[in-house]
Homo-oligomer: A and B are copies of this chain.
Amino acid sequence: MTARTSPEASRDIPEATVARLPVYLRALTSLVEAGTRTCSSEELAGAAGVNSAKLRKDLSYLGSYGTRGVGYDVDYLRYQIAREIGVEQDWPVVIVGIGNLGHALANFSGFRSRGFRVVALLDADPSRHDEVVAGIDVRPFADLEAIVREHGVAIGVIATPAVAAQDVADRMVGCGITSILNFAPTVLSVPTGVDVRKVDLSIELQILAYHEQRKAQGEATPATTGPGDPAHHELVREETA
């Protein structure tokens, strides 16, 4: 998709692997804190909740950082993964929408410890502008561009209501932000080159509900709720009309 400029560029890592590297990183950090020096793919895979073959294949995309017959140097591997992900340096981040969720995010200590630094909290509501959350004062949304330029922000977090999310995203993109984490339940439309990831509580719960319904189906009373399809079809159309 993007041009390969650097000749020494590391082979591109499959998306599925990229999504697991942070899990490995976390497991390795735990091991480091526990004083472990070395671990096998089997141990690490257990801690990360994945298959050991998958783990080894994932790590092989980064390079050959293990030692056959021994395993991996925990701290060395942790560093290599952190470097590959890009969280050795801190990424400045802005959070927009300091409501219920925005407060929780601002207070979330995991940001700093995992390679991110909240440089600003923004909200459109003037009544919030005198507030200080987690040591950072909430500023007007209009300050976005100045802040992004000042700190070189590339990553933005959206925690506004759904109706405002697209506007906020547009403004972010206009300022030069190229990665967005969206908590609002909306599909964002952004130009090519901008990455969007969404965190959607309702979707996660509904996926659980689907499987839950499936589990219940086997043991429930014979006539659960829904009869054949055609009758329901009519019923629903009546509701509409």
> Residues on A close to B: CB < 8 A?
2-3, 5-6, 9, 13, 18-19, 21-23, 25-27, 37, 47-49, 63, 73, 75-76, 79, 83-89, 91, 93, 100-101, 103-105, 107-108, 110-111, 114-116, 154-155, 178-181, 185, 187, 189, 193, 195, 197, 199-219, 225-226, 229, 232-233, 236-237, 239-240
Contact = CB atoms under 8 A, between A and B. Distances in A.
B209 A85 contact: yes
B110 A211 contact: no
Contacts of A84: 210
Contact of A211 (B111, B179, B208, B218): B179
B208 A181 contact: yes
Contacts of A101: 104, 108
Contact of A202 (B110, B208, B210): B110
Number of copies: 2
A22 B207 contact: yes
Contacts of A203: 19, 22-23
B193 A75 contact: no
28 contacts: A2-B215, A6-B218, A18-B210, A19-B207, A21-B210, A22-B203, A22-B207, A23-B203, A26-B185, A63-B229, A73-B237, A73-B240, A75-B236, A75-B240, A76-B240, A79-B239, A85-B206, A91-B205, A104-B104, A108-B201, A110-B185, A116-B202, A116-B209, A155-B205, A155-B212, A179-B208, A181-B204, A195-B208
